[in-house]
Amino acid sequence: MDLGIRGRVAIVAAASTGLGRAVAAGLAAEGARLALCARQAERLEQAAGELAETFGAKVFARALDVTDAAAVERFVAATAAEYGQIDICVSNAGGPSARPFAQTTHEEWRAAAELNLLAHVSFARAALPQMQRRKWGRLLMISSVSVRQPIEGLVLSNAIRAGVLGLTRSLANEYGRDGILVNNIAPGYTLTERLRELAAARARNAGISIEQAQLEWTRATALGRLADPKEFADAAVFLCSERASYITGQTLVVDGGFYKGL
């Protein structure tokens, strides 16, 4: 299937490693031009260089923190100046601290809201007018399976990310007539650095080994295994493509059957 996004300009946030990087690779493989960001410049430049070399892609990269709304606005404006258009925006960030409620501070709640809700707002605010101008766009927010099934010890993710669902639906309704699709994609347990951090936190809190923590998650999936980031990226790239043209306001859970609801 031709996904129909050759030459499209795609922003992927928090993309030097993990899910963001896998999505950037998937988009580059389909011929998209990329604009990437993450905080650590060196690791970002390395990722950008590797993606350019592997896929022959154009890659614009800028180091920034996605919780800095002004920096996000400048990055999106610089991307539009560089390429003349923005068609796809995949908003993403790191994950919040993994703690049970009693151990969280008010400051951590504020930081989680900045990281896992307001960063999506900043990218949407900056990118949507660019898409409106050309009457075509794909806004995709990366959240977590915690938006469907709260995860033990991750109250910040469970509570804050739920707002992404309301944001997705609202923006889908407000911008549908501009030819812009707005969706949310919710990863389950996927083999990235974040998962290793979570396994270490779970092991500490439950008094088990890191291997046992990972085994618990593996057993909780229908497929009996954790995901490769590329499996997540394939679904994300589809939602960013021409072929997803009648899908908007949705949350796609990519979790190997971890979520057990109907």
Helix (H) or strand (E) holding 125: helix 119-134
C-beta neighbour count of 1 within 10 angstroms: 7
Residues in contact with 152: Cβ distance below 8 Å, sequence separation at least 6, in sequence order = none
User: What's the closest the beta carbon of residue 23 comes to ligand NAP, in angstroms?
Assistant: 9
Does residue number 134 form part of the binding site for ligand NAP (CB under 6 A)? no
18 touching ligand NAP, by CB under 6 A: yes
Q: Is 67 in the site for ligand NAP (CB under 6 A)?
A: yes
User: Contact between 38 and ligand NAP (CB under 6 A)?
Assistant: yes
Alpha carbons 185 and 253: distance in angstroms, whole number: 6
3-state secondary structure of 62: strand
Residue 14 interacting with ligand NAP (CB under 6 A):
yes
Q: What number of other Cβ atoms are within 10 A of residue 98's Cβ? A: 22
Work out whether 20 is an interface residue with ligand NAP (CB under 6 A): yes
Question: Which among 33-41, 53-61, 78-86, 176-184 is the span making contact with ligand NAP, rule CB under 6 A?
Answer: 33-41
Q: By the 8 A CB rule, do 19 and 229 touch?
A: yes
Task: Measure CA 92 to chain center.
Answer: 3
Per CB under 6 A, 61 contacts ligand NAP: no
Q: Where are the beta strands (DSSP E) in the chain?
A: 9-12, 33-38, 59-63, 88-91, 137-142, 180-187, 251-254
Q: Are 229 and 22 in contact (CB under 8 A)?
A: yes
Tell me, residue by residue from 197 to 236, as one string, x for binding to ligand NAP by CB under 6 A and - for no binding: ----------------------------------------
Number of residues that bind ligand NAP (CB under 6 A): 30
CB-nearer residue toward ligand NAP: 94 or 175: 94
**Residue 50 to residue 188: CA distance in whole angstroms:** 26
Tell which one of 168, 183, 192, 241 touches ligand NAP (CB under 6 A): 192
Least separation, in Å, of the C-beta of 133 and ligand NAP? 26
153 lies in the binding site for ligand NAP (CB under 6 A): no
Sequence-separated (6 or more) residues with CB below 8 Å from residue 50: none
Chain residues binding ligand NAP by CB under 6 A are 14-20, 37-40, 43, 65-67, 92-95, 115, 142, 144-145, 187, 189-190, 192-195
